[in-house]
Each structure stands twice: as structure tokens, then as C-alpha cells.
Amino acid sequence: MGRSSSARLGSALPPAPGSPSRDGGDGRLDPVRWRPPARGLLLRLAVVAILLGAAALVSWSPPPTCDPPAYTVPAAAPSAPAASPSIPSGSMGVPVRLSDPAALALVEPGNRVDLLRLDDADGSTEPVAQSALVLQVTSPDDPTAGGLLLALSPTEAQRAVAAPGQSFTVLIRPG
């Protein structure tokens, strides 16, 4: 406490040019001397360098190749004219338009069906044919077709065509 504040301030100022200094008196300031870093600092710097290198590799690496799942979709058959179905001997091929075209999605060629005539007035049904063979199914989306080609006996065919404009439905028999 013996020094005054002016003495402390005066000692912090650099010496004037030409005046002697503490480091040898030539007025030159020595740079800060390099000291080797502490051991813990080197370890932290090494960890940071490794992490930055790993991050750079991950960001520059190409994405992993992952093939999308392979789903095979059967190709639609070309719309070639369908071969005419063979009508069994003793039967007649009769085209029938169904009242509910959604039922066409359930019927396939080779199925056996019961053909029923719907009476629109009272909602009753009348059997026309039993166990009729389905020869061909037209698309329910096709507004001109939308029906079945059935193999019917001559008497069943007579009953099916006797009342034009009637609505028909089918019951699919287990096969």
C-alpha cells in the first residue's frame, strides 16, 4: 500500500522511446511466448476434430441404396376379340342383362347360376333356369353389354326370351 495510484499507472504505460525498459532497454516489445497447451486441451481438440470429421463424412456420403419393394401387377390382357364360348350340346346360348350390374363382378365363366325373373310391380321373383352354365361375363362398366351369356336348355331359353324388357337376377351356386 505504499505506492500511490499515479505510480501504479505510470508503471503500466510503455516506456518512452529511448528510455530504458525492463526487458533489456532497447524499447522492443517481446511477443507473447508460446507455451505448450495443457494435456486436457489437446484431448478436447482431438475429440472435436474427430466429431467434425465424422459429421462431414456423414453429410457427404451418398444415401444408402434401398430398392423399392417389387410388386408385380399382372398386365392387362390386350383387348383382342374374345373367342366365342363353346355352347354345350343340347343347350342354347342366351344373353341376359342383369338388373344389378354389380353382381357381374361376382360371376365368372364356368360358374353355375340360377336365373330369376323379377316382377317390378310386386317385387316377386319367378325361376327361369336352374344351374345354368355361365359361358361369358361382360364388363359391368360397359353400358352396351353389362350381362351374362348363359347356356340354357331350349325350354329355359324360351322362358328367358318370352318377356322382353324384364329384369333378371342370378343366384350363384357353390362350385
pLDDT in tens, 76-85: 555 555 556 7
Exposure letters 5-22 (e unless 16+ CB within 10 A, then b)? eeeeeeeeeeeeeeeeee
Within a domain: residue 6?
no
As given in the structure block, the three cell numbers for residue 117 are 325373373
The structure's pTM equals 0.50
Q: How far is CA 166 from CA 92, 109, 116, in A?
A: 19, 23, 10
In total, how many domains does the chain have? 1
In the predicted structure, residue 2 carries a pLDDT above the cut 70: no
Range of the domain at 154: 92-172
Within a domain: residue 49?
no
Within a domain: residue 32?
no
In the predicted structure, residue 170 carries a pLDDT above the cut 60: yes
Within a domain: residue 167?
yes
